[in-house]
Amino acid sequence: MCGIVGYIGHRKATDVIIKGLQRLEYRGYDSAGVAIVNGKIRIEKQKGKVAQLVKVISANPMQGSSGIGHTRWATHGEPNDVNAHPHTGQKKKFALVHNGIIENYDAIRKNLESKGHVFESQTDTEVLAHLIEEIYEISDTDFITSVQLALNEVDGTFGIAVVNNDDPDTIIVARRGSPLLLGIGEGEHFIASDASPIIEYTNKVVYLDDDEMAIINRDSYEVRTIKNVTLNKAVHELEMSIEQIEKAGFPHFMLKEIYEQPDTIADCMRGRLVVSENRIQLGGIAHVLDRIVNADRIIIAACGTSWHAGLVGEYLFEYLAKKKVEVEYASEFRYQNPLIDEKDVMIVISQSGETADTLAAVREAKSKGALVLGICNVVGSTIARETDAGVYTHAGPEIGVASTKAFTAQVTVLSLMAIMIGQKNGALSEKKSAKLIKALNEIPEKVKAILEHADDIKKMSELFTYAPNFLYLGRSYNFPVALEGALKLKEISYIHAEGYPAAEMKHGPIALIDQHMPVVVIAATDHTNDKMISNIEEVRARKGRVIAIANENNSEVANLAEYTIRIPETHDCFTPLLTVIPLQLISYYIAVNRKCDVDQPRNLAKSVTVE
Ligand code: M6R
């Protein structure tokens, strides 16, 4: 989704901003632009990739040490040069970049048009640039007040950065619902919608909260509320490193992130899985454990891949901790007039910690008195800060739009939580938890073993590169993995794929099966093995092509399937951490064969900050 970068200091602003925009490319976008203040504001913007913009700027370099930049993911108006940000006001005194949606833009635009304003683009953002300039010119107020007054008139969400020709040494940023942070350097300041453009210059950051703004100069900054109350904000230290956001020799971030999983799962368990004491230690939720244990219900809310992790969580919590769980799409939660109260616990799961729909579910549940816990990857993200307590996944930055290591880290955290609750409420005996803890501890090595066979998966994927459809089937813990496998394939290869609980096949999808339909059957849990074998037989009887994911010693499945990908044995409830790996690799190799843009698939955004 849209990205913002800004810089004021002693360096050449375009260098910092362009590099920053490249770091934000992973978020997904369709056009990019910069505004540099150097005597006069100069804007360059282009449809397409940042590389296009670089070509234009290289032909006519932009000098100046202050400016703002943007990658746009179209909401209002098609992706083209005119709709790209930055936008200016009528007299081109201000330039503004914006993430989010101004919901009442049409009314404001009509009002401004009646006063003679002429708009160039179809965007909601241009309206805000005009409004700030109108207030500045007509009411004769200063830069800060004009931005404040304009923001008080708009409904919707925004993360904005504004520069002003009359005040070239100041950048103003503000947020409501769209993340923004400020990087603090020596005689220089950086702004960005996430930390990736900032990390190579400084690890000191200030996170803006909703309805806050920062007035930024070279040597100083000040944070106020939009209503003009001065704030004393904490300076945080970023934990990420520059190496983590580079490809480290892999052709794509997605492949790098798939290969990181033995480490990310181990990192996620480090210090939390105390094998020698048969104990789980999750510091972030220890103080609310009693409330979780005594809760009437646990409601898990999330979107996309995180929702699939939540579904695995439902099986884990109900089996290991004997807790009643409901899993909701965060995007639908608030429309259900949800019956939730202080006796319930909500767990939200979000890699980015910025997903607007998930954040809305957090606010809804909190307003009704529920305890809300977060499982987030991005440290300091909005959801991590707004939830009552939580557990970080510690998977490190995930840059590929298709979530991979975030999923396995989320399932790992859910596994830890389920065991911890099960131990606390007596659902798990010492003996049973020892078995589970041992099994979980062995997962990173088992993931490594699967990755050693990536070449076989690559070869097999070549045979299915041009299949128009795929079906994924799983049962129990691996039903959500079937959904996740299908999502992974469709989002990066654009092949139509459906995931189903295997038993549902005969209630409809079986009509699709013929000799052209690859069916990925996840047959890796012992307790559903016989039933999965029946499903394979049913697919074969209709000439479907079965790709099975099965345990090492399952010769029965291997004899029936056209291809079998072996995974090491583990406890049934942790199989999702293994079965998902081949599915990630199948999607990756097929997408590469089809020459798709694996890391930045069309139309998708890494962090979905609009509802
Ligand atoms: O950052 P979040 O985990 O909240 O994101 C949720 C979804 O947008 C995300 O999982 C999306 O489905 C991914 N593209 C999946 O690969």
Q: Name residues whose C-beta falls within 8 Å of residue 544's C-beta, 6 or more positions apart in sequence.
A: 471, 513, 514, 515, 517, 518, 519
The rounded distance, in Å, linking the Cα atoms of 52 and 56 is 7
Answer yes or no: do 459 and 337 share one domain.
Answer: no
Answer yes or no: do 199 and 290 share one domain.
Answer: no
Q: Do 29 and 100 touch, CB atoms closer than 8 A?
A: no
SS3 state at 161: strand
Amino acid letter, 423 = Q
Q: pLDDT means per 10 residues in the chain (611 residues)? A: 93 97 87 94 95 95 96 88 95 94 94 95 95 92 96 94 96 94 97 93 95 97 97 92 84 96 95 95 96 96 98 98 96 90 97 95 96 95 95 93 97 98 96 97 98 97 96 97 98 97 93 94 90 94 95 92 96 97 98 95 83 76
Tell me which of 188, 219, 243 is where a domain ends: 243
**Given this model, what pLDDT does residue 239 score?**
83
Going by alpha carbons, the residue nearest to atom 8 of ligand 1 is: 304
Question: How far away, in angstroms, is 605 Cα from ligand 1 center?
Answer: 9
Question: How far away, in angstroms, is 18 Cα from ligand 1 center?
Answer: 26
What are 175's two structure tokens?
A: 């947020």
The rounded distance, in Å, linking the Cα atoms of 552 and 38 is 65
What are the φ/ψ torsions at residue 261 (nearest 5 degrees)? -60, -35
Residue with tokens 């940042």: 50
The rounded distance, in Å, linking the Cα atoms of 339 and 341 is 7
Label the pairing between strands 204-207 and 212-216.
unpaired
Answer yes or no: do 232 and 294 share one domain.
Answer: no
Going by alpha carbons, the residue nearest to atom 11 of ligand 1 is: 304
Q: How many C-beta atoms surround the C-beta of residue 292 within 10 A? A: 22
What are 440's two structure tokens?
A: 């979980």
Is 255 part of a structural domain of the chain? yes
Buried b (16+ CB within 10 A) or exposed e, 510-529: beebeeebbbbbbbbbeebb
Q: The CATH number of the domain where 267 resides is what?
A: 3.40.50.10490
Answer yes or no: do 165 and 19 share one domain.
Answer: yes
Q: Name residues whose C-beta falls within 8 Å of residue 429's C-beta, 6 or more positions apart in sequence.
A: none
Q: Do 346 and 371 touch, CB atoms closer than 8 A?
A: yes
Give, for ligand 1, the residue of 1, 252, 300, 306 to mutate: max count of ligand atoms closer than 8 Å to Cβ.
306
> Of 457, 349, 361, 481, which Cα lies nearest the Cα of 406?
349
Give, for ligand 1, the residue of 491, 600, 608 to mutate: max count of ligand atoms closer than 8 Å to Cβ.
608
SS3 state at 401: coil
What are 252's two structure tokens?
A: 């794509």
Q: The CATH number of the domain where 68 resides is what?
A: 3.60.20.10
Answer yes or no: do 256 and 232 share one domain.
Answer: no
Residue with tokens 């890699």: 351
The rounded distance, in Å, linking the Cα atoms of 291 and 296 is 10
Ligand 1 atom closest to the CA of 604, numbered from 1: 14
**Given this model, what pLDDT does residue 39 score?**
87
> Of 471, 481, 438, 462, which Cα lies nearest the Cα of 567?
481
Answer yes or no: do 184 and 295 share one domain.
Answer: no
**Strands across the sheet with 221-225, in order?**
87-88, 94-99, 158-164, 171-176, 212-216, 221-225, 230-231
**Given this model, what pLDDT does residue 247 score?**
85
Q: Do 44 and 68 touch, CB atoms closer than 8 A?
A: no
The rounded distance, in Å, linking the Cα atoms of 447 and 300 is 26
- The DSSP call for residue 177 is B
Answer yes or no: do 377 and 233 share one domain.
Answer: no
Amino acid letter, 158 = F
Ligand 1 atom closest to the CA of 608, numbered from 1: 8
Going by alpha carbons, the residue nearest to atom 4 of ligand 1 is: 350
The rounded distance, in Å, linking the Cα atoms of 187 and 173 is 18
Answer yes or no: do 399 and 540 share one domain.
Answer: no
Answer yes or no: do 224 and 268 share one domain.
Answer: no
User: How many residues are listed for the chain in this entry?
Assistant: 611
Q: How far is CA 378 from the centre of its chain?
A: 9
Question: How far away, in angstroms, is 353 Cα from ligand 1 center?
Answer: 10
Is 362 part of a structural domain of the chain? yes
Is 611 part of a structural domain of the chain? no
Q: Name residues whose C-beta falls within 8 Å of residue 327's C-beta, 6 or more positions apart in sequence.
A: 299, 300, 301, 302, 307, 310, 311, 313, 314
Q: How far is CA 193 from the centre of its chain?
A: 13
Residue 498 parent element (H or E): strand 496-501
Label the pairing between strands 545-551 and 563-567.
parallel
Tell me which of 191, 211, 243 is where a domain ends: 243
Question: How far away, in angstroms, is 293 Cα from ligand 1 center?
Answer: 28
Question: How far away, in angstroms, is 329 Cα from ligand 1 center?
Answer: 12
Answer yes or no: do 234 and 256 share one domain.
Answer: no
For residue 47, what are the β-bridge partners? 31
Q: How many helices (H) and strands (E) does the chain have?
A: 21, 27
The rounded distance, in Å, linking the Cα atoms of 78 and 123 is 9
Q: Mind telling me the catalytic residues?
A: 2, 606
Ligand 1 atom closest to the CA of 303, numbered from 1: 6
3-class DSSP string for 194-242:
CCCCCCCCCCEEEECCCCEEEEECCCCEEEEECCCCEECCCCEECCCCC
Label the pairing between strands 518-523 and 545-551.
parallel
What are the φ/ψ torsions at residue 534 (nearest 5 degrees)? -60, -40
The rounded distance, in Å, linking the Cα atoms of 275 and 98 is 48
Opening angle at CA 467, ends 465 and 472, nearest 5: 100
What domain count does the chain have?
Answer: 3
Q: Per-residue DSSP letters for 520-531?
A: EEEE--GGGHHH
The rounded distance, in Å, linking the Cα atoms of 469 and 538 is 18
Ligand 1 atom closest to the CA of 607, numbered from 1: 1
The rounded distance, in Å, linking the Cα atoms of 112 and 109 is 5
Going by alpha carbons, the residue nearest to atom 14 of ligand 1 is: 402
Where does residue 603 rank: exposed (0-12), middle (13-18), buried (19+ CB within 10 A)?
A: exposed
Q: How many C-beta atoms surround the C-beta of residue 244 within 10 A? A: 16
Q: Do 259 and 249 touch, CB atoms closer than 8 A?
A: no
Give, for ligand 1, the residue of 355, 484, 492, 598 to mutate: max count of ligand atoms closer than 8 Å to Cβ.
355
SS3 state at 1: coil
Is 254 part of a structural domain of the chain? yes
Question: How far away, in angstroms, is 113 Cα from ligand 1 center?
Answer: 39
What are 349's two structure tokens?
A: 């799961």
Q: Which residues line ligand 1 (CB under 6 A)?
A: 303-306, 350-352, 355, 358, 401-403, 491, 604, 607-608
Answer yes or no: do 389 and 513 share one domain.
Answer: no
Q: Is the dihedral of CA 272, 314, 372, 308 positive or negative?
A: positive
Going by alpha carbons, the residue nearest to atom 7 of ligand 1 is: 304
Ligand 1 atom closest to the CA of 402, numbered from 1: 16
Tell me which of 422, 441, 460 is where a domain ends: 441
Is 54 part of a structural domain of the chain? yes
Going by alpha carbons, the residue nearest to atom 9 of ligand 1 is: 304
Give, for ligand 1, the residue of 27, 303, 359 to mutate: max count of ligand atoms closer than 8 Å to Cβ.
303
Answer yes or no: do 91 and 157 share one domain.
Answer: yes
Is 607 part of a structural domain of the chain? no
Question: How far away, in angstroms, is 303 Cα from ligand 1 center?
Answer: 6
> Of 178, 577, 197, 203, which Cα lies nearest the Cα of 399?
197
- Host domain of residue 290: 248-441
Q: How far is CA 3 from the centre of its chain?
A: 13
Q: Do 478 and 579 touch, CB atoms closer than 8 A?
A: yes
Question: How far away, in angstroms, is 378 Cα from ligand 1 center?
Answer: 13
**Widest CA span in the chain:** 81
